[in-house]
Structure 1
Amino acid sequence: MRFTMNRINERLLLKVEKYMLDNYMFQEGDKIVLGVSGGADSMSLLDIMLNFLEKYKLSLYVVHVNHGIRGLEADEDEQFVKDECDKYKVPCYTFKYDVEEYARDNKISSEEAGRELRYLSFRQIKDKVGASKIAVAHTSNDSAETILFNIIRGTGLTGIKGIMPVNGDIIRPILCMTCSEVYEYVEQGNLSYRTDITNFEEEYTRNKIRLNVLPYMEKNINSKVIEHIINLGELVRYTEDFMDRYAENIYSRVVLKKAFAESDEYLIDANLLKVEDPIIQQKVIRKVLYELIGRLKDITKVHIDSIIQLTDSQVGKKIELPYGVVCEKNYDYLSLYFSACKYKSFDDMGDLLYEEVQIGKEYYIDSIRKFISFELINYTPDMEIPKNDYTKWFDYDRIDGNLVLRTRKIGDVIKTREVGGTKKLKDLMIDMKIYRGMRDGIPVVAVDSNVLWLVGYRSSEGYKVSETTNRVLQMRVYSARDN
């Protein structure tokens, strides 16, 4: 240890050490960036990590962010952190911003602006020094405040999870400590710290919870209220993690992403989605929106519910969502895309797929994430012709020309009856109610403009296997795991 410990601090150090190890917060030899404001929480974090420095061969780098809000006091906080780091020979990096200006420019709250700039600074130094983790000084009180704050303003289960001990490269070593334990630690260890007076201004909801609501509940209702709120958050987190894993599996089954130069489009199989529990439907839709937009801010339960209601709506109905996103019902699919990115006609799309087929080879089709193989078989009448949608037999000797695996083109036709019955491929797709956003990605096997197989949907009647067939061309579509 860095210096002789009293029993209280030794107990708290052991508590934090166990918490960090249980949550796999670091490995021996790690470089860790510490966010240090100079307050009691962050000075406790710094002192605690210094105590583990030699034992775990850690390298520590302090980052202090001056928000430029509190004038001279903020500058004094910055100098205080520098002096403390000099005392313990810890590298210290400081940043100064005009948080209010940043908030105005980005149309966000001052609190949100401060958070964005802090983490921007932390990651800048993390990249500079090659660190693996960023440690911040949230306590269990902070987590309880967050849970109550989210409940009060309206939240789903995610908002009741509280603050995560580990979230990507962010670790929170003292999340197991209460605010009271932090002050015990600094007092018993004679640690200096700064006090931010804005933490005592009751105009902010969080401060009201911290200064009034939680203390009242602890004193007048249950002294273990924070512990119980944290336990609830942990239980919800375990439940959410399980449901997230399940929803991820459903997502892979019901969602198709189409990539275009301007943007992406996501297709959700409405029929498959509808059979899932409502909470799973919500999670799948939230994930689609996050993948498309890159954030979920301003996406509310009302938006999610509106999308779910579209699964039973008539074809062509649309709803507008934040960030210029549109959700549209198209036959059996919901399509989500940015309204500024209009559909391009398939003749403008270029060749999304084009392969001159060689018998005996297989090809990967990116749009459906599957392989297709072409195999020649000597046919006898006792053979059973496959009946599934992804294995088709064709009379090879009736094929006159070079086979091409591609996407649809203008002028494509397919024979729907052995005698006559030729139909434009575009008309067939409309008749089969194939959503327009999917049509350009469906593979086609053709000779010139004569389509043998619209893969997964319809094969031509012009190349049917009969009693006079000698050689069969088998086309089979499969995933890697099936082969």
Structure 2
Amino acid sequence: MNDDLISAQKAEILLIEQKAEQFVVSEKMFPKGGTVIVGVSGGADSTALLHFLKNHAEKWNLSLIAAHVNHGLRGESADHDEAFVKECCQKWAIPCRVLHEDVAALSKKRKEGLEACGRYVRYTFFKALAKENGAVAIATAHTASDQAETVLMHLCRGAGAKGLSGISPVHEGIVRPLLCLTRKEIEVYCNGYHLSYCEDETNWDLDFSRNKIRRQVIPVLKTLNPKVETAVSGAAFRLREDDNCLFEMAKSALEQAAHGLGWETSSLMKQPRPVRLRALFLAAKKNGAGELSADHLLNLDLLLLQGGKITLTLGLHAEVQQGILFFGDPKKQRFAIPLSFPETILPDGRRLLVRKISQKELKNDSKFHNLFFFNLLNYATISKNTVVRTQLEGDRFRPAGRGISKPLRRMMNEAHIPPYLRENSILLEREGEILWAEGLGASESARPGVDRQNAMIIIKENGL
């Protein structure tokens, strides 16, 4: 091999490394260094990843742990891959952890495909190792070629911007340092460093959807654009930026529309549809929704306009009442916990703030005026036995100044408190007596005196 060719190969490898280095730094994958769990199958991509991180471990202050999963699917071939990974790690002085799992049996038990089950097993293992070793990140060897395949698969399923954004470079502690490189660049890197690697024969099995994209679709697209993988990855990156921006706008829209435990439909309807749909997605997820399809979101959007009630996933329903969107669950959480000063964190995420207020605040601080009628009570009636709880069947309440006791549900109905607030209202109880009911105020025995010397105020925050 002549010197010019050798120099050209070295220059190409140097450019590939610089490209990956700049990508890692720009995405802030290892800002402070630390332990990194590296997923290593033994293939070209993961072997290159482990080698690349080994070469940069000192520069980036990294301590590497390789993680390999033997899926029990390929017999001797899988055992050979495991032995290869162990040998590499021994040669490079990198600790190696191996998990053996019968993925075929587990996939039947979990009632999912081999690909999905294998992914579940790997990431569960990686996350367990990360927790055990205090790792700052889990590194996987996804490439720009994987990105293109993923985006095309999602496109075939009719995905929106989130699905077409593909694989994120950094997400929930998982980083992809090689996502900027194509599979061809990975092979150049491996050849340049004389790195051997394993070939997974299942990569040629066209029963797997990804292999169909890789072996049959991508080659055709390359006749239109030889750099199609890089082009699709670039499009995914731009879509991710747009999608992230729209989600930030959606978060602000939810905050503006917040009303008790729900959201004002009139406020949400003012938002552009792309922002509104994302706001509805966030609201549903916040209330425990499972996987949400495009149809779910479109039905939620229609609900804002028409009112009524629809059922989503995992038993969650959405309803619009009196211009307020709220979500309910048939298995709604009930609780009774001790009252704490000055703040009680409720099991559903809400916060109850309780504190004494001065005469000066009562007279001069306008921000309390709208809260006084329903949220003042006598501090002296609170004891260590006071609990915060949700409603129970048979609850009765004797409101201040009324001279009567009635079923709590009937009183809330008479007070025209919307159903979604009734179902989620909270109470203060002491030794069987309700001292305060949200939306109704203090009881006869707990109301402040005429001079309000011992007044305390209750402020509820939704924790949304």
Aligned residue number for residue 397 of structure 2: 412
Distance in 2, matches of 1:190 and 1:449, equals 77
Contact 1:370–1:478 (CA<8 Å) still a contact in 2?
A: yes
Distance in 1, matches of 2:435 and 2:367, equals 16
Aligned residue number for residue 279 of structure 2: 284
3-state SS, counterpart of residue 417 of structure 2: coil
Q: Which deviations, in whole Å up to 9, do the C-alpha atoms of 1:400-426 show, x marking residues without a partner?
A: x96999888944355899xx9999764
Q: Which deviations, in whole Å up to 9, do the C-alpha atoms of 1:180-235 show, x marking residues without a partner?
A: 1111111222210111121122232221221222222122x123322222222111
Contact 1:365–1:443 (CA<8 Å) still a contact in 2?
A: no
Please state if 1:305 is matched with 2:290: no
Aligned residue number for residue 8 of structure 1: 12
After TM superposition, give the deviation of residue 478 of structure 1 in Å: 5.9
Aligned residue number for residue 316 of structure 2: 325
Distance in 1, matches of 2:364 and 2:95, equals 77
1:130-141 aligned within 5 A = 130-141=134-145
Evaluate the alpha carbon distance shift between residue 226 and residue 384 of structure 1 in structure 2; reply closer, same or farther with a 3 A threshold.
closer
Contact 1:385–1:393 (CA<8 Å) still a contact in 2?
A: no
Evaluate the alpha carbon distance shift between residue 334 and residue 416 of structure 1 in structure 2; reply closer, same or farther with a 3 A threshold.
farther
Distance in 1, matches of 2:219 and 2:106, equals 34
TM-score after normalising by structure 2? 0.78
Evaluate the alpha carbon distance shift between residue 431 and residue 70 of structure 1 in structure 2; reply closer, same or farther with a 3 A threshold.
same
List gaps (5 residues or longer) in structure 2. 1-6, 444-448
Aligned residue number for residue 109 of structure 2: 105
Contact 1:413–1:449 (CA<8 Å) still a contact in 2?
A: no
Distance in 1, matches of 2:92 and 2:53, equals 12
Evaluate the alpha carbon distance shift between residue 129 and residue 416 of structure 1 in structure 2; reply closer, same or farther with a 3 A threshold.
closer
Contact 2:351–2:460 (CA<8 Å) still a contact in 1?
A: yes
Please state if 1:199 is matched with 2:199: no
Aligned residue number for residue 223 of structure 1: 226
3-state SS, counterpart of residue 234 of structure 1: helix
- In our comparison, the structure showing a higher alpha carbon Rg is 1
After TM superposition, give the deviation of residue 167 of structure 1 in Å: 0.9
Evaluate the alpha carbon distance shift between residue 194 and residue 43 of structure 1 in structure 2; reply closer, same or farther with a 3 A threshold.
same
Q: Which deviations, in whole Å up to 9, do the C-alpha atoms of 1:244-291 show, x marking residues without a partner?
A: 22222334455689xxxxxxxx74544443443333333233234434
3-state SS, counterpart of residue 52 of structure 1: helix
Q: Which moved more, 1:445-454 or 1:368-377?
A: 445-454
Contact 1:390–1:455 (CA<8 Å) still a contact in 2?
A: no
Contact 2:263–2:326 (CA<8 Å) still a contact in 1?
A: yes
Matched residues, percent identical?
27
After TM superposition, give the deviation of residue 173 of structure 1 in Å: 0.8
After TM superposition, give the deviation of residue 326 of structure 1 in Å: 3.1
3-state SS, counterpart of residue 159 of structure 2: coil
After TM superposition, give the deviation of residue 295 of structure 1 in Å: 4.6
Distance in 1, matches of 2:65 and 2:382, equals 63
Aligned residue number for residue 67 of structure 2: 63
Distance in 1, matches of 2:251 and 2:77, equals 48
Aligned residue number for residue 232 of structure 1: 235
Match of 1:438 among 398, 421, 426: 421
Evaluate the alpha carbon distance shift between residue 386 and residue 224 of structure 1 in structure 2; reply closer, same or farther with a 3 A threshold.
closer
Please state if 1:212 is matched with 2:216: yes
The code of the aligned residue for 2:75 comes to G
Please state if 1:73 is matched with 2:73: no
Q: Which moved more, 1:443-452 or 1:108-117?
A: 443-452
Evaluate the alpha carbon distance shift between residue 196 and residue 435 of structure 1 in structure 2; reply closer, same or farther with a 3 A threshold.
same
After TM superposition, give the deviation of residue 313 of structure 1 in Å: 4.8
Task: Compute the RMSD of aligned alpha carbons.
Answer: 4.4
3-state SS, counterpart of residue 34 of structure 1: strand
Aligned residue number for residue 247 of structure 1: 250
Contact 1:415–1:423 (CA<8 Å) still a contact in 2?
A: no
Q: Which deviations, in whole Å up to 9, do the C-alpha atoms of 1:283-333 show, x marking residues without a partner?
A: 23323443444752xx21112222333334556x442x3333333444444
Evaluate the alpha carbon distance shift between residue 102 and residue 459 of structure 1 in structure 2; reply closer, same or farther with a 3 A threshold.
closer
Q: Give the length in aligned residue pairs.
A: 444
Distance in 2, matches of 1:190 and 1:385, equals 75
Evaluate the alpha carbon distance shift between residue 388 and residue 63 of structure 1 in structure 2; reply closer, same or farther with a 3 A threshold.
same
Please state if 1:389 is matched with 2:370: yes
After TM superposition, give the deviation of residue 126 of structure 1 in Å: 2.1
Contact 1:34–1:134 (CA<8 Å) still a contact in 2?
A: yes
Distance in 1, matches of 2:337 and 2:410, equals 21
Contact 1:147–1:159 (CA<8 Å) still a contact in 2?
A: yes
3-state SS, counterpart of residue 311 of structure 1: helix
After TM superposition, give the deviation of residue 159 of structure 1 in Å: 0.5
Contact 2:375–2:441 (CA<8 Å) still a contact in 1?
A: no
Q: Which deviations, in whole Å up to 9, do the C-alpha atoms of 1:428-472 show, x marking residues without a partner?
A: 532454233423654679999999997667899xxxxxxxx9957
